[in-house]
Structure 1
Amino acid sequence: MAKSYYSTVFEQSADQVWATIRDFGNYTWAGTVSECHIEEGKSGTTVGAIRSARLGDTNTYHRQRLLAHSDLDRSYTYEFCEPYPYPVRDCIITLRVTPISDGNRTFVEWSGTFDCELSKRDHWTHYFAHEVWAKLLQSLREHLKG
């Protein structure tokens, strides 16, 4: 099982960051997502909801199922639905927002576990952390700055 991880600090409060990302169906803060909706009319906080997001100008949709959602912990966990957008299996991802007392800032971490070909493990571990999550969190940072 491979593990990937990325974290950063935001100058905004945890409440402000969480309010922006808490709805699993609201992906407008992610600069690469051009369209997003929750299938079957479920809410973006309902466990089992499936998010369908179109990336950029492509016709490629990524589908992800919400596995856990906690306002108390300011986190949610999800998995990719088939067909997988990447050559990985059993991919479980968590996005978590934690308050930092010093300066009312926020610690945000994105982590995931997955299986893949052993020879590709380093590639996919780096890819998720630095090519996906780091870039999405930079988009969130820009969105919050307005």
Structure 2
Amino acid sequence: MAKANAFIDLNADIDKVWQLIGGFDSLPDWLPFIPQSTLSEGGRVRTLKSVAGETIIERLLDFNEAGRSYSYTILQGPAPVRDYQSTLRVLPGSEGQGVRVEWFGSFSPEGISDAEATAMFTGIYVDGLAALKQRMEG
């Protein structure tokens, strides 16, 4: 099983960051490469459209309001992986200053190497968190 992770430190209020990214349907609010999200199954499944027109369907696995995190899995999508599970969480920054946002996942590559799959998802996480920083601080 391969893994990818990224984090970013923000000069922002933790509650405002969580309010922006904490909804399972909120990716279009801060992630420019996902302009559309539609919830189904009582808010437990989201169908995403990428800027390239690809469809990604994800299921919420765990939502922790108090812990400011949620975990999800990809049910269908263009990524050459299976058994994908990811978590997005918002934590207090170091020494009580700002916020740290972490995005990490694990998956089994199909047709590509562990290193290629790790690089692909690390890039997605890093680019997504950079977009979040721009949105919050920009």
TM-score, structure 2 normalization: 0.90
The offset of 1:95, in angstroms, is: 0.6
Contact 2:2 2:114 in 1 (8 A): yes
The offset of 1:142, in angstroms, is: 1.5
1:87 counterpart (80, 83, 86) = 80
Gaps of 5+ in 2: none
Gaps of 5+ in 1: 44-48
Aligned to 1:51: 46
SS in 1 for 2:95: coil
Aligned to 2:18: 18
- Cα distance between partner residues in 1 of 2:127 and 2:106: 19
Contact 1:13 1:99 in 2 (8 A): no
Question: After superposition, where does 1:106-145 map in structure 2 within 5 Å?
Answer: 106-117=99-110, 120-129=113-122, 131-145=123-137
- Cα distance between partner residues in 2 of 1:103 and 1:75: 19
Aligned to 1:105: 98
Aligned to 1:72: 66
- Cα distance between partner residues in 1 of 2:132 and 2:70: 16
The offset of 1:103, in angstroms, is: 5.2
- Cα distance between partner residues in 2 of 1:3 and 1:107: 19
TM-score, structure 1 normalization: 0.85
Identity level (%)? 30
Structure 1 counterpart of 2:61, one-letter code: L
Quickly say closer, same or farther: Cα 1:52–1:118, change in 2 above 3 A.
closer
Question: What is the number of equivalent residue pairs in this alignment?
Answer: 137
- Cα distance between partner residues in 2 of 1:97 and 1:79: 19
- Cα distance between partner residues in 2 of 1:36 and 1:119: 28
